[in-house]
Structure 1
């Protein structure tokens, strides 16, 4: 293995499949199967799931909703996605724990750094839900923050609509150039839509590399962990 402890960032849209909203059980099962492959290889896996397939705080705010309220609703959407993923993993025999930044003990553990690391050492998958617990911060920032806290070796950013980082949206601009490698300084300087600036700065400051790749092809998560050249590799420094 190139990486022994990873943070896997899944967008909410990745769980929706072709329908574009909600949770597609077939997609969830496919992702869970790929995660199980990593556990079988004794890789320590932490996951951060977005909530865009159910609710987007920014969209609610743009329509006149209080931004903090809209963001808290988005955090609850990530909990729903996390529980769905946990259920799918456990049906495959993978021990999984959901830890939330907003306390809700009836459905998940509160986030405790030392406990999360202990779960990982016992080869349990840990899913970090409810973002950072604060409005105005994205799940990209959550990924960077949790990766730094648990000392993950890499963030694997699985996308459902692109296979890496491009100079422009390849679905709109056919001349968009795909990058094989970048630095976080390039990302910030050129305004590339990889992560938000807070997340990128956090990763750069803590020297956490990032691999951006497509999740639509089964086996790509394993390939990324093995260190194969897929997608785009963003260097920490």
Structure 2
């Protein structure tokens, strides 16, 4: 069995880590992610990961509570580092070497993000988790995922979500929502399909980097995506 992709950037949602909880990290979810990542790494695929922090703190929600937006965004970045360390621990417990690199330097717990070093880790078969977003306020972890994917020369951005693809409207609220098999970057922006934020989509479009959106809570789906199975929705150039 051969993967369609040699190097991927996997974008994981912080909220998905909560599982059925209202806050924090579900051991079941993080273990499932770790097993799926090991499956992919065992095939020889080079895996970079960006993970959100919404299960712990979101800058925008902090701003709504009166926290300065820049401060709130920095708190959100720290939340992504907590998730990165937890995921690193779960992956390494399965015997897969893993490194965390952060956009905000914190040398006691992780390496600083250095493009060449990240690429070298990937070449050596190590999973690399990129924490702290872009290191800048006002930028989401979606944008961080697009940026890191371009920097490490990934073949694709694989966005893990709680739904099985991109729909023309919210499938939870509307039973007649229609799922796209493929959609263009321009359609995503024009129709405000909420695949990723506009900055991330624009970065991917400019660099012709495909995005696949799929349901990551079904075990085995990450492997299916990288093997080229037709699950989820592909965002490509028109």
- TM-score scaled by length of structure 2: 0.98
Matched with 1:224 is 225
- Where structure 2 has 5 or more consecutive residues not aligned to the other structure, the ranges are none
SS in 1 for 2:101: strand
CA distance in 2: counterparts of 1:137 and 1:20, whole angstroms: 25
Q: CA deviation at 1:25?
A: 1.0
User: Of the candidates 5, 8, 16, which is equivalent to residue 7 of structure 2?
Assistant: 5
Over 3 Å off, 4+ runs: none
In the alignment, the residues of structure 1 paired with residue 204 and residue 165 of structure 2 have an alpha-carbon distance, to the nearest angstrom, of: 18
Aligned length: 236
Q: Corresponding residue for 1:173?
A: 174
Aligned twin of 1:234: 235
Residues 160-212 of structure 1, C-alpha deviation per residue, up to 9 Å, x if partnerless?
2x110011111111111111100100000111110000000000000000000
Compute the displacement of 1:20 (Å): 3.4
**Shift in Å, 1:35:** 0.3
Deviations 1:126-183 (A, max 9, x none): 00000000000000000000011111000000112x1100111111111111111001
TM-score (norm 1): 0.98
RMSD over equivalenced CA pairs, Å: 0.8
Q: Secondary structure at the match of 1:169?
A: coil
- Tell me the residue number matched to 1:99: 101
| Closer/same/farther in 2, CA of residues 105 and 236 from structure 1, 3 Å limit | farther
| Matched position secondary structure for 1:212 | strand
Distance between the aligned counterparts of 1:36 and 1:130, measured in 2? 23
Q: Which runs of 5+ in 1 are unaligned?
A: none
> Counterparts of 2:50 and 2:64 in 1: how far apart (Å)?
25
